[in-house]
Amino acid sequence: MLGRDGAVRRQQGQIVEARSTLEVKLAELAAARRTSDDMKAIDRALDAMAEEVASGARGARGDELFHQAVTAAAHSGVLAQLMTFIAGMILETRLESLGQPGRPEESLASHRKIADAIRAKDAPGAAAAMLEHIVLVSDVALLK
């Protein structure tokens, strides 16, 4: 029988599985479907996160805006609804991940790599960069 901590770890692990499935596909679709307005939204999110991190904050709001902008750039209503459904569940791992020393800067660099691939309309590159990002940010104590 799983205790509370085991159940939380299992649920968080399932959230990572969902993110690695959904967000990798969203990044791939965003690279294929993005508009110039979508890129402006992605860039605004990167700027917001960079400002937060530079001020010593975790960058959580910019992080959330970035993932929302990538989701919007994919132009997939069903996948967007699925992301909305798990958004609250993602929040706990996002905050824990960004609370680790050096992680906000690493996450921002990872976001920039994803954005560069989307900007270049490199769908496989965007998918690979997003998967690398999900692996990075999933390295949190909640999952160990």
The CATH number for 71's domain is 1.20.120.530
Model pTM greater than 0.85? yes
| pLDDT one-digit tens code per residue, 14-49 | 888 888 899 999 999 999 999 999 999 999 999 999
Domain that holds residue 125: 4-139
Nearest by Cα to 58 from 7, 4, 94, 13: 94
Name the 3-class secondary structure at 130. helix
Whole-number pLDDT of residue 2: 47
HSE-CB at 112 with a 13 A cutoff on CA atoms is: 10
What is the domain count for the chain? 1
Nearest by Cα to 112 from 73, 66, 79: 66
* Amino acid occupying residue 90: I
Examine residue 18 and state whether it is found in any structural domain, yes or no: yes
42: exposed, middle or buried (Cβ count in 10 Å: 0-12, 13-18, 19+): buried
| pLDDT one-digit tens code per residue, 72-97 | 999 999 999 999 998 888 888 888 88
Examine residue 144 and state whether it is found in any structural domain, yes or no: no
